[in-house]
Structure formats: C-alpha cells, structure tokens
Amino acid sequence: MTTGEKIKRVRVFRGLTQRDLGLKLGYEERNADVRVAQYESGYRSPRKETLVKIASVLNFNHVHLTGLTPGCPEEICIAFLWLEEENKNVFHLFELEENPEHTSAPLEKAAILPYNTETPITQNPIGLWIDHDSINRFLKEWVLRKKQLKSNEISEAEYFEWKINWPNKRF
C-alpha cells in the first residue's frame, strides 16, 4: 500500500474530507483539498516533516508513513498490517501447542511444532497461515531452502545466494 493510500485510508476512517485534512495541516482554503488529493494520489510526495504532521493530525503513529529501518522486525510487522488492509482475511493466526499424545486433526492438516533441543521453547509460538498465493509460494520455497541447509544439501553460501537473488523470474 502506498503512502498516499495509507493517508487516505486513515483520513476516511477518521471521517475527514481532503479539505478538512488540508485545513488542519495549515494549507490555504483555496487549495487545501487539492494538496491532500495530490498526496493521496502519489502526484506529490510529502516531506518527512509533513508526513509526521499528517500522522499527528490523523492521530496515528507516524512510522506507518515515515518508516523504520528497512528490514527491522517492526517494519515487517507494519507491512503485514497494511497488507491485511488491502487483502482482508489473508492472515490467519493460531497458537501452536505441544500435544504429542493426541490431535483430532488429520496428520496432513495438523500444525507440527518443531522441537529443537538447541533452542528450548519457553512459550507457545504463534503460527501464521497466509491465504495469499505469492506469499505462500515464497514461504514454501523458504522452508525448502531451510531444510536443504539443515540437511547439508546446500551450503550457507548457496542459501545466502538464494536469498539475495529472490525473487527469481518464475516467482
């Protein structure tokens, strides 16, 4: 979702018109709505200070517009949250519980909690099922590469090579 789309989504959620937001940002009455429309359409890119002010006026965290360090966990979480805004019901969360004795689900549908003696699990991890074809293809490929690395089918260098060249043309 683009910055402009995020601004529009929150503005509409807050019940403001483009004109209302523009006036609250201090733009002149004659062009307040035009300026906001330009931001929302992507015709103009607001400076960071303006993005912070927009977030303040709309009462939400400016990092959703200004970003964080690319690739940091919070940035990835924010990306997931906005992806869900674009694709409702794409994320399905569940808590994994260790239950070695019984599961009512058929084996092919049961979530399997991997046990790793090197890293004891101190809390139940959260599972994430994403109903999005391209993300699921990526996650399946990532699981495959991790398994290949663990079983020494590929080296650390080959694994890193896969990561830095993803996505490949077939994706």
CA distance readout (Å), 43 to 2, 20, 82, 154, 155: 12, 19, 21, 46, 46
pLDDT, tens digit, for every residue of 24-60? 999 999 999 999 999 999 999 999 999 999 999 999 9
Strand partners, 95: 126
Contact 82, 1 (CB under 8 A): yes
Look-up of token digits 């529009």: 8
Look-up of token digits 């937001």: 21
pTM: 0.71
pLDDT, tens digit, for every residue of 124-146? 777 777 877 878 788 888 888 88
Helix or strand or coil: residue 23?
helix
